[in-house]
Amino acid sequence: MKTDWIPLALVPLLAFAALPLVGSIPTWLTLTVAGLAMGMMIFLMASGLTLVFGLMDVLNFAHGIFISVGAYGAATVLTRMTKQMQAESLASDLSAMVPAVIAAMALAAVLGWFFERVLIRPVYGDHLKQILITMGGLIVFEQAIHVVWGADIIPLPRPGTITGSFIVGEAAIERYRVAAVVVGVVVFALMWAVLNRTRIGLLVRAGVENPEMVESLGYRIRRLFVGVFVAGSALAGLGGAMWAMYQEQVTPAMGMQVLVVIFIVVIIGGLGSVGGCFVGAMLVGLMANYTGYLAPKLALGSNILLMVLVLLWRPRGLYPVGKA
């Protein structure tokens, strides 16, 4: 089977289609980098959900809470390390950011393990109950954030080395956005390598297609489910930490607010497809930024329109995963 490049080609196609509408190359470049950065952060948040969807057939509406908890985990560390973040040195910034990212991913992973174990395991195979119980879990844990961290918005300063912009031609490019693109691409490359070059990845890909057959070959798919769920939650935590730094603030509802966009990305990409999620996230990020600039009133609906167009073209998403 040859690689299907057409969906990937949509990304530059959308970008170049927007160029004459935007009119100014520096503005277009700024919007494009912003769109790609937004897309990468959405990809980080959505990649776990698409695997959980594909592998476990679980509609996890609580995914947003892993994003929020990750953001709060990172904020807890970063707000205690303001000295390191103001030192204007990369090493000093990393000494704050690495523990913050670890805290974000670890907190989200532990919460993900708890969710799978306590809330989701009893409702495997029942979509209606999954929706109800995960929505309930999202609300309960959002309130738990109020209890632990308070209901107020927590301002989150960015580390010095990724604050501000640099100039390319006449375009101002935010350093943080470039960093977000780099992190997103690196995580995607790692996920691709794990899925395509390791035995665990082979099992996950097979499990997404036909979990029953994987069991018949002698593998305990339930353990794989837990591993994927925890890893997906940790990635959501990482995405949440990056999203919080992008927004420069943390709120309990931030996970719930991005959940709709995440579901749009997962559906556009094809349920269970990490590659589709990556392309879908870029398309959504670009679309949101271009429309936000050209027709702000349409910004909210633009991603829905994108989803409708993609589904009219490919009803099972950009990269459909063959389910047994």
Partner 1 sequence: MPPELLRLEGVHTHIGQYHILQGVDFSVPRNELLMLLGRNGAGKTTCLRTIMGLWQASAGQVHFDQRPIQRLPTPDISRLGIAYVPENMGIFAGLTVRENLVLAARAGDPEEERLERIFRLFPAMKTFWHSHAGNLSGGQKQMLAISRAIVEPRKLLLIDEPTKGLAPAIIGAMVEAFRELKRDTTLLVVEQNFHFARSLGDAVAVMDSGRIVHTGTMAALAADEALQQRLLGLSLESHQ
Contacts for 89-98: CB closer than 8 Å, 24+ residues apart: 89/160, 89/161, 90/161, 93/159, 93/160, 93/161, 93/162, 96/159, 97/159
Of residues 303 through 322, those in contact with partner 1 by CB under 8 A are 321-322
Q: Residue 159 or 317: which CB sits closer to partner 1?
A: 317
Of residues 128 through 157, those in contact with partner 1 by CB under 8 A are none
Task: Please name the residues in contact with 204: beta carbons below 8 A apart, sequence gap of 6 or more.
Answer: 51, 55, 195, 224, 228
Q: Residue 160 or 320: which CB sits closer to partner 1?
A: 320
Minimal distance in Å, beta carbon 220 to partner 1?
5
Minimal distance in Å, beta carbon 187 to partner 1?
22
Query: Quick check: 193 binds partner 1 (CB under 8 A)?
Result: no
How far, CA to CA in Å, does 36 sit from each of 152, 253, 287? 30, 24, 10
Query: Quick check: 195 binds partner 1 (CB under 8 A)?
Result: no
Minimal distance in Å, beta carbon 131 to partner 1?
22
| Total of chain residues touching partner 1, rule CB under 8 A | 22
Minimal distance in Å, beta carbon 125 to partner 1?
12
Query: Quick check: 197 binds partner 1 (CB under 8 A)?
Result: no
- The interaxial angle of helices 25-56 and 6-22, nearest 10 deg, is 150
- The pattern of x and - marking residues 198 through 237 that bind partner 1 according to CB under 8 A reads -x--xx-xx-xxx-xxxxxxxxxx----------------
| Bridge partners of residue 250, in order along the sequence | 154
Minimal distance in Å, beta carbon 207 to partner 1?
9
Q: Are 198 and 55 in contact (CB under 8 A)?
A: no
Task: Please name the residues in contact with 110: beta carbons below 8 A apart, sequence gap of 6 or more.
Answer: none
The region of 123-131, 168-176, 196-204, 254-262 touching partner 1 under the rule CB under 8 A is: 196-204
How far, CA to CA in Å, does 157 sit from each of 38, 84, 144, 176, 298? 18, 12, 24, 12, 30
Residue where the block lists tokens 């769109």: 35
Query: Quick check: 1 binds partner 1 (CB under 8 A)?
Result: yes
Q: Residue 2 or 83: which CB sits closer to partner 1?
A: 2
Query: Quick check: 114 binds partner 1 (CB under 8 A)?
Result: no
Query: Quick check: 125 binds partner 1 (CB under 8 A)?
Result: no
Q: Are 64 and 263 in contact (CB under 8 A)?
A: no
For residue 253, the one-letter residue type is A
Q: Residue 203 or 306: which CB sits closer to partner 1?
A: 203
For residue 313, the one-letter residue type is W
Query: Quick check: 169 binds partner 1 (CB under 8 A)?
Result: no
The helix/strand count (H/E) of the chain reads as 13, 4
Query: Quick check: 4 binds partner 1 (CB under 8 A)?
Result: no
Minimal distance in Å, beta carbon 324 to partner 1?
7
Contact set with partner 1 (CB under 8 A): 1, 199, 202-203, 205-206, 208-210, 212-221, 321-322, 324
